[in-house]
Structure 1
Amino acid sequence: MDNLPNVFTGDAIEAELVTECDARDLGLARCVQLLRDAGLRPTRQRVDLGQLLFLNGHRHVTAELLFEEATAANMRLSLATVYNTLNQFTEAGLLRRIAADGLKSFFDTDTSVHPHFYLEGEDILVDVSEGLSFTKMPEALPGHDIVRLDVVVHLRKAK
């Protein structure tokens, strides 16, 4: 055993490994707490998908894209589990569903009210960076409240 090289020698390498493990553990703890705060039990599937969604900055994902990412990360999940989890996260207020077209929904990790561009033919949803304002909102129907406003501006490549 003494003849084998020790790849963990040196303070810099050891510190880097510890920092990497600490960051992973911290991310896991943050994700578990986020789920608990939203009233969700932190199951393995929810935590795995939550880490992909919430620890990588602001994102717009489809169920298919998230499934591909989970598969690439060796997470053993079905597409149905991904759909169910996204729906649970949305119901708990952790995600916002954006119906960009009649067939596909995106899930936005930024749940604030903000408009989007949908790039038709490219299946990409991006936030509109400049402000958008409305001078008048319609009155809600009697006995109803306006819950939210979704604005999706569809774009197509210019010819």
Structure 2
Amino acid sequence: MTTHHVENGMTEKAVRNILRDAGLRPTRQRVSLAEILYSKGDRHISAELLHEEAVSADVPVSLATVYNTLHQFTEAGLLREVAIDGNKTYFDTNVSDHHHFFIEGENRVIDIPGEGVGIGSIPHAPEGMEVVRVDVVVRVRPKT
């Protein structure tokens, strides 16, 4: 999959070009959501939080549209999806190959720095399939 990267502080025209290059029509809502997503640099965000930020920024968009846009951005290589326990999904603006800590009790995801995870062996994919990537989520909590 080709990845595209929207950088912090890009102009609306540049964001429109990135969306076009990723095969997405640069609608007003997509451009506005991309600007909100990438305005704070690399981060992990849920659809609900992005929707709240859009509403606060006077961007008229439904939660369903936010979900659809996040999934379209992910399919286009603009975001990485980080699933936690199968019921909570975060979207990562850093599309490089890396892993994550999930901070229990805070429902927060942070990147594992550098080469913080070594994987010694990956099983062979079933016949007719290929391994796309390996996602490691290390669950942590404050010591008691």
Q: Same fold (TM over 0.5)?
A: yes
Q: Give 1 or 2 for the bigger CA radius of gyration.
A: 1
> Which of 39, 42, 49 is residue 23 of structure 2 equivalent to?
39
Tell me which residue corresponds to 2:134. Answer: 149
Correspondence 1:1-159 to 2 at 5 A: 27-131=11-115, 132-159=117-144
Secondary structure of the equivalent of 1:107? strand
Tell me which residue corresponds to 1:5. Answer: none
- Could you tell me which runs of 5 or more consecutive residues in structure 1 were left unpaired when the two chains were aligned: 1-23
TM-superposed CA distance for 1:130, in Å, is 4.3
1:102-157: CA deviation from partner (whole Å, max 9, x where unpaired): 21100011112111000111110000114211122211111110011111001122
Secondary structure of the equivalent of 1:105? strand
Alignment: residue pair count: 135
- Give the whole-Å Cα distance in 2 for the aligned partners of 1:139 and 1:78: 41
Give the structure-1-normalised TM-score: 0.80
- Give the whole-Å Cα distance in 2 for the aligned partners of 1:123 and 1:148: 23
Code of the residue aligned with 2:51 in structure 1: it is F
- Could you tell me which runs of 5 or more consecutive residues in structure 2 were left unpaired when the two chains were aligned: 1-8
TM-superposed CA distance for 1:34, in Å, is 0.9
Give the structure-2-normalised TM-score: 0.88
Higher RCO (CA-CA < 8 Å; seq separation 6+):
2
- Give the whole-Å Cα distance in 1 for the aligned partners of 2:29 and 2:74: 15
CA RMSD of aligned residues (A): 1.3
Tell me which residue corresponds to 1:3. Answer: none
Tell me which residue corresponds to 2:6. Answer: none
Moved over 6 A (4+): none
- Give the whole-Å Cα distance in 2 for the aligned partners of 1:130 and 1:43: 35
Share of identical aligned residues, percent? 51
1:67-119: CA deviation from partner (whole Å, max 9, x where unpaired): 11101111111111100100111111111100022211000111121110001
Code of the residue aligned with 2:125 in structure 1: it is A
1:41-92: CA deviation from partner (whole Å, max 9, x where unpaired): 0001100001111243111100011011101111111111100100111111
Give the number of the structure whose residues are more often helix, by fraction.
Answer: 1
